[in-house]
Amino acid sequence: MFDQFRLKDVLAHYKQNFVSTQWGNEKYKWEAVKWFQDNWDVNAQNFPEMLNRSLDKTFNLLASSNNFPKGMIVGFAKAAPEEVRAMFIALFDESKDVYERMNAFKLQSSILLEKYGNGAAQHYQYENAISTYLWLRYPDKYYIYKFGEVKTVANELEAEYHFKKGAYADNIRNFLKLYDEISLALKEDKELVNLFQSQMTDTCYPDPELKTLTIDVGFYISRYYSQKDTAAQEEAEWFPATYSPGITVDEWIKLLNDSEVFTTASLEIMKRMKDYGGQATCKQLSVKYGQSSNFYNAGSSTLAKRIADKTGCPLMEVDTENSKWWPILYVGRSATKDEQGSYIWKLRDELSEALDKIDLSEIELYVKAAPGEEDRGYWWLNANPKIWSFTDIAVGEVQSYTLYNENGNKRRIFQNFLDAKAGDMIIGYESNPVKQIVAIGRVSAEQDGEKLFFEKVEGLTSPIDYVTLRGCPELDRMEYFQNPQGSLFKLTYQITLRDARKEKEFIDKLRERNGNLEITCARPGNGNVEI
């Protein structure tokens, strides 16, 4: 049992955000189920290939930071297909107790790890992953189990069910009972059901028993609802709380269309701020979109001055010149230790709404390359999944990579970190046990003496295996394959001339095209020759 009034409050918030944010972010869960249902065949002749394909839409559900259940179970299937096939047959046998099946799957995974783990520390087949397999196979009966998540749900709903670390069997059984009760309550909320069904597409499992919707409500409680008080407190910390320039949405629109007030540079700042989510530090904007931090700092202050001159709006009464101007555009707060920069600005609500109503399509989001710098470089970036993962980085999110290791020593091939330029593309590779290219990135800002900054541009829905890459003769001389120890590797082209006598002519043309920069050529069988 749980407090029904607490759940009603949860659902009131959930429904408010369902169409605008929740469905777009979490729709993949319903798509993952349908994809699994359409592709699963336990009797498939090529079981490893079928298993990998069936789990192809699970994304972070079975692959996240320091947790790689999909990669490991598919690897086991490749090494011992019949053993893994038997494991899934036993797991999906509904005539037996659910936890006994889950525990047997976990124990068998330990055996496979010893046989085929190639030194891996763990198999990652625990209650979370195993419950995910059950949910994919029987989506009208099961849910995804996460200890921390279900514990938060139980606390927020003041449920009578208790969850303790290490009490695996009791936790699973209490979890299923609690979520079954929540699922029944969701069915009684006709507004929610209609809202959910209105968003359904052909790519989604229809979820007639609302089990996947129950999973999503649990996730919402854990990730968002439980943090609402903290969020409200943070909102109250924005400075200044009592000052407003008194500019309406319509007045902001007129100002935005006035080129004497909002110059091209000003609109670039606004567009980038909106793209970042409406709030950011100058450092964050600089790293992701280009330009210096001062471009955003000084540019915002001078813009605010022009607005004050144009409108005669009231000014903030403060002792410092700096704080006198920017509050016209923003409210602010100190950045946390996890946020780049020192102070976060957030667009005023009226200005943010006005920006939504004007056309900024002609305004550059990213800084263009300078003349002569149009040619991109390409790099291979290693991620050690035991430390960090590309999967944990959202598309559009900017990350940094230190030029020195934890001992203060330079990274291997240190020059690569110095040579990487803003706009260069990055191939995102995760090493053992994943051993796949999983993402595409872009160098967002050059190294600052301590870090190189990059942005995740795309996550690959079909990652490329190391074995596939190693089988390409064109990649034999790739820097990473020559010596895989390191983090950042240069990617180059191999070109075969139709007429070897025109080699010098070809190099001269390359020099012209490349601004007379370094050119490295490789002659087959002779190693690298710098020219």
- pLDDT tens digits, one per residue of 63-117: 875 678 999 999 999 999 999 999 999 999 999 999 999 999 999 999 999 999 8
Number of domains observed in the structure of the chain: 4
Condensed to tens digits (0 to 9), the pLDDT of residues 372-422 reads 444 668 888 988 887 778 877 877 778 888 888 767 778 888 888 888 888
Report how far residue 90's alpha carbon sits from residue 85's, in angstroms, rounded to the nearest whole number.
Answer: 9
Find, among 134, 221, 130, the residue nearest to 168 by Cα: 130
Report how far residue 416's alpha carbon sits from residue 420's, in angstroms, rounded to the nearest whole number.
Answer: 6
Beta bridge partners of 343: 334
Report how far residue 101's alpha carbon sits from residue 94's, in angstroms, rounded to the nearest whole number.
Answer: 9
Condensed to tens digits (0 to 9), the pLDDT of residues 326-379 reads 999 999 988 876 677 788 999 999 999 999 999 999 998 888 755 544 466 888
- 481 has a pLDDT exceeding 70: yes
48 and 162 share a domain? yes
425 and 349 share a domain? no
Domain boundary among 162, 197, 229: 229
Find, among 431, 427, 392, the residue nearest to 63 by Cα: 392
Q: Is 14 inside any structural domain?
A: yes
324 and 340 share a domain? yes
Report how far residue 456's alpha carbon sits from residue 395's, in angstroms, rounded to the nearest whole number.
Answer: 5
Phi/psi at 95 (5° precision): -80, -10
- 434 has a pLDDT exceeding 90: no
Report how far residue 170's alpha carbon sits from residue 174's, in angstroms, rounded to the nearest whole number.
Answer: 6
Q: Is 462 inside any structural domain?
A: yes
267 and 206 share a domain? no
Range of the domain at 439: 378-494
Q: Is 363 inside any structural domain?
A: no
189 and 87 share a domain? yes
Residues in the chain: 531
Q: Is 211 inside any structural domain?
A: yes
Find, among 49, 54, 51, the residue nearest to 35 by Cα: 54
Residue given tokens 């100190």 in the structure block: 334
- 506 has a pLDDT exceeding 70: no
Please state whether the predicted TM-score (pTM) of the whole model is above 0.75: no
516 and 459 share a domain? no
Burial 129-157 (b: 16+ CB within 10 A, else e): bbbbbbbbbebeebbbbbbebbbbbbebb
Which residues have C-beta within 8 Å of that of residue 72, sequence separation ≥ 6? Answer: 109, 120, 123, 124, 125, 433
Q: Is 364 inside any structural domain?
A: no
Residue given tokens 């001339």 in the structure block: 497
CA distances from 76 to 48, 102, 116, 239 (A): 9, 17, 7, 55
Domain boundary among 183, 201, 229: 229
Q: Which of 4-8, 432-436, 488-492, 513-517 has the highest mean pLDDT?
A: 4-8
Report how far residue 59's alpha carbon sits from residue 61's, in angstroms, rounded to the nearest whole number.
Answer: 6
